Amino acid sequence: MFQARYLVVMLSQKARYALRALLHLVEHGASRTIQVGEMAEMQHIPRKYLEFIMVDLKKAGLVTSRRGPGGGYVLAKSPTEISFVEVIRAIDGPIALVPCASENFYQRCDDCHDEATCAIRRVLLQVRSSAVAILENTSLADAAGAELAVEALSHA
């Protein structure tokens, strides 16, 4: 049976690295092929770990790869079309604090007495809905634009 992974409280390190790598691609030319070594060095991500992450992002259809001299990774679609929720789901799976609050990977909690009246589930469904709404409406382009704007202000 499929065992879903759930976000406990924080985003996994792997998902944060994935977001940083994708934002690096956006900020350094979304259509330019960038080598894993360059991303790893500039983003302070262990190279071997980043290689595994990029394979997962490729399987999810978020990046494509090119082999040979000048090879590397490039975004598979426009940064405006890649949301944070897509990236997090590709790396971490469900966006829910408990299995019964997951929309895509629902599982009844093993210790649940009555799901219909469970106050914990009711609150965590609201948390999941709010988090997903924000993550769905935040694209890589949005995040990169905000990051670049803050950077420009700090250098002004």
pLDDT, one tens digit per residue, over 79-128 is: 999 999 999 999 988 887 787 888 777 778 788 788 888 888 889 889 88
pLDDT grade, residue 152 (50/70/90)?
Answer: low
Which pLDDT score, from 0 to 100, does residue 154 have?
58
**CA–CA dist 42, 24 (Å, integer):** 9
pTM for this predicted structure: 0.81
Q: DSSP letter string over 76-127?
A: SS-GGG-BHHHHHHHHH----SSGGG-SSS----TT-S-GGG-HHHHHHHHH
The full set of domains in the chain, from first to last, is 13-155 (1.10.10.10)
- On average, the pLDDT of the chain sits at 85
